[in-house]
Structure formats: structure tokens, C-alpha cells
Amino acid sequence: MSLTVRPGIEQIVGYVPGEARSPANTRPLRLASNELPFGPSKAVKSAASAICAVANRYPDGGAVLLREQIGRLHRLEVDRVLAGSGSEELLQLVCRAFAKDGDEVLSSQYGFMMYPIIARSVGATPTFAEERDFHVDVRAMLAAVTPATRVVFLTNPANPAGTYVPRSDLELLIRELPSDVVLVIDEAYAEFVDAPDFASALPYAREASNVVVTRTFSKIFGLGGLRVGWAYAPREVVEAVNKIRLPFNVSAVGQAAAIAAMHEPDHVQRTRAYIRQAREWTSERLLKLGLQVAPSVTSFILVGFPTGCPGTAAEAVVDLRSSGILVRPLGAYGLHNHIRITIGAHSDMRRVAARLASYLKRAARK
């Protein structure tokens, strides 16, 4: 007799993380996973390493200090804050708590790759609403809701597009979505945004009975390696997730580092300003090379190779890799003419722009 994997799981095309190694260099330039180019501050490092002295002790399973600090920072009720091993864990747990075999889990055309994987993992069917020019179309999302839809995932701002849903559209989605559907608004990149008509869903979630907002310490706080995320959710959702999460899901090191990082608002502000400036510089450079760049409010850019361009996305990825630069190919999203480039240090951005320029020149001579 042989083992039988559950049908939903068999259908999953596994998540392919951004490349982290390159054949050419022992230390590649990693621009494929939306990581910050610099490590944590001294204070965060020392808070994290202090925990190693008591690593024999389990972490606080309720992550109380971490959740209290999140509550203070964002003015949220602490008993509605969940901590997770990265926000990804919370996305998964919410879906597991509310969707089952035969249900539908809706996201937008170029939503984060993990949503359909999570949907399949619980036996549900992933469904998608078309986007308009790399912008989420909330009207199309509402139209794609069926009686079988149990969970809707919205990434705001979006990955890999880097665009955002403006406040009025967010309000429309929250208002019009049936109240028996859980709306998960994934704000992994929200802290990078400074557009005036962007709104976090946190204040809306306070009043709504079906809205969950997820955030992470992996992006602007630069703690991706420590796996800390959080969610603000209705009490009913918190209760359900607490029943099924692992009892010690956030490591003690992660909790200590995240708490210390929240004490450094200036650091976050400097990071936001730096990323914005480097993103604008890079976008301008690549536009001058004849490439397309979607208007990003995040720590990465979606770069297109238009018709008539001498190069292709697939070849560019290979060429960049051969010089030790790793960017994200987007074939898994059906975006065969695009790549995603994470904003790194100034020198990284100069290097990737120069290499793309040289690649396009060589491609034009072919």
C-alpha cells in the first residue's frame, strides 16, 4: 500500500523563494527576496544576543510584551493582536481556521504567490480577480466573490507590482464584502508607503467584524531572518487562531529583537527615506534604458521588457546572475516579460543598473 497525499496538497506548485546563491560569486548581490540591504541596529542586535544566554528557556508563548508594544505603537487592543512566526504563518492560520474543502479563497491576479498555496493546503480552491495595469481592481474582486468564497486576500501595497489600493477603494472593498467572508489585508510593505491617498486598514479593522490586517518585522524592520509577524483581528479570529497555532510559535530571540526595533522609530523613518530615494534613482535609470517600471511605493520595483526592447526578462536574469546579481524572475506569476528587483544599497543599485545597461547593449548587437 502506498501513501496518499491529500488532493489539495498534490496540486500545489511549491513556492520558489528568491535565489540566495549565485554560481559566479561566493557573496552574491541578493536583490531577489525584498530584504533590506543593511542589518539591524546595535540595540536590536544586543537585545537579540542577550537572549542566547537563556536559550534553555522556552519563549513566552503568548508573546505578551511583544503584543503589548505593538498595541502601544499602533493604539490597538492587545487582546486583538496575534504574533506569528512571520506574517506568513498568520496568513496560513487564518485561512486554516475559516476555509475548508470545496471553499474558495480569492486574491488578485498578481497577488502574493503564497495565497493560492495556502488555499490549496486547506483543500480550498484559489480564485483570482483580474488587475488593471498592475493595480488591484477592487470592483473585479467584489465581482469574483461567490457563495463559496470564505477568505479574500488583498496585498496592500502589492507584491510583486509595488502599487497600492487607494483609500476610497479600500473602503469600498471593506464596505461591500459580505460579512461572512474573512478579508485579510496583508500590509507587509505598508511602512514604506508615503502616498497621501494610501490608508492602512488598521483603523477600519477596529470596527469591522471580518477584517484581519497582517504586518511583519521582516521588511522595513529588516528582521526577516528572525521570523516575526503580527495580525490585528476580530476576537473571534484571535480565539480560533490561538487554538491551532503552535504554543511557542515566535522565538524568544525574535520577540526581543522586534520589541527593541519598535523602540527605534527614527531608524524606520531613515530606512523609509533611503528606500524611497534609491527606488526613485533606480526607476529613473531603468526607464532611461527603455525598460518599464511600475510605480512602486515599496522596497522593490517591477521591471518590464517592452516589445521592441532588445533584451528579454529571462535572459536578463541569467546575465545578471552570471555577474553575481540575483533578481526575481516572475514566470510563476505568469509575468514572463518582467523581473522584480529589490532596492538595495546605493552601490548595489549602481551595479544592477550598469549591468542591465551593458546587457541591453550586447542584446542589441545580436
Residue placing its CB nearer to ligand PLP in the complex, 153 or 204: 153
> Parallel, antiparallel, or unpaired: how do β-strands 149-155 and 182-186 relate?
parallel
Residue placing its CB nearer to ligand PLP in the complex, 98 or 300: 300
Is 84 strand, coil or helix? strand
Residue placing its CB nearer to ligand PLP in the complex, 125 or 216: 216
Residue nearest ligand PLP (C-beta atom):
86
Residue placing its CB nearer to ligand PLP in the complex, 87 or 296: 87
Contacts of residue 10, defined as CB under 8 A and 6 or more positions apart, other chains included, come to none
CB of 68 to ligand PLP, least distance (A): 20
CB of 343 to ligand PLP, least distance (A): 14
Q: CB-based burial of residue 52 (10 Å sphere; 0-12 exposed, 13-18 middle, 19+ buried)?
A: exposed
Residue placing its CB nearer to ligand PLP in the complex, 35 or 348: 35
Residue placing its CB nearer to ligand PLP in the complex, 187 or 319: 187
CB of 188 to ligand PLP, least distance (A): 4
| Contact footprint for ligand PLP (CB under 6 A) | 34, 86-88, 112, 155, 159, 186, 188, 216, 218, 224, 229
Cell of 193: 508607503
CB of 92 to ligand PLP, least distance (A): 10
Residue written as grid cell 516589445: 307
CB of 33 to ligand PLP, least distance (A): 7
DSSP string, 108-163: ETT--THHHHHHHHTTPEEEEE--BTTB--HHHHHHH--TTEEEEEEESS-TTT--
Residue written as grid cell 548581490: 29
CB of 225 to ligand PLP, least distance (A): 9
CA–CA separation, 87 and 94 (whole Å): 11
**H or E stretch including 106?**
strand 104-108
